[in-house]
Amino acid sequence: MRIIIFLALAGIVLSLGSALVYLIRDKGKTNRTVNALTMRVAISVALFLFILFSYWMGWITPRQFGT
């Protein structure tokens, strides 16, 4: 479970980094920045839905701090 979440977070960071590179390199002339940011949003939404589904299936449980 942690590996899947880590890979998704790494994909989000890589997509954000590539969007920055495209923004600097292309200077707004192409849609590559928009595509990279769209991919970042899609991965983020997919990760959120996966975490909700995992909780619903009982694969993950919340921690109780202080006890």
Q: Which residue range forms the structural domain that includes residue 33?
A: 2-57
Exposed/middle/buried for residue 8 (C-beta within 10 Å: 0-12, 13-18, 19+):
middle
62 occurs within a structural domain:
no
Question: pLDDT tens for residues 13-59?
Answer: 999 999 999 999 988 788 999 999 999 999 999 999 999 999 999 99
Q: Is residue 64 part of a domain?
A: no
Let me know if residue 37 belongs to a domain: yes
Encoded amino acid at 64, one letter: Q
Number of domains in the chain: 1
In a domain, 66, yes or no: no
What pLDDT is attached to residue 17? 95
Helices (H), the chain: 2-26, 32-57
Residue 35 lies in a domain: yes
Answer yes or no: is 16 within a domain: yes
> How far does CA 65 lie from the centroid of its chain?
26
- Of residues 5 and 28, more confidently modeled: 5
Query: Between the CA atoms of 8, 52, 50 and 66, what dihedral angle is there, to the nearest 10 degrees?
Result: 40
- Domain assignment of residue 63, yes or no: no
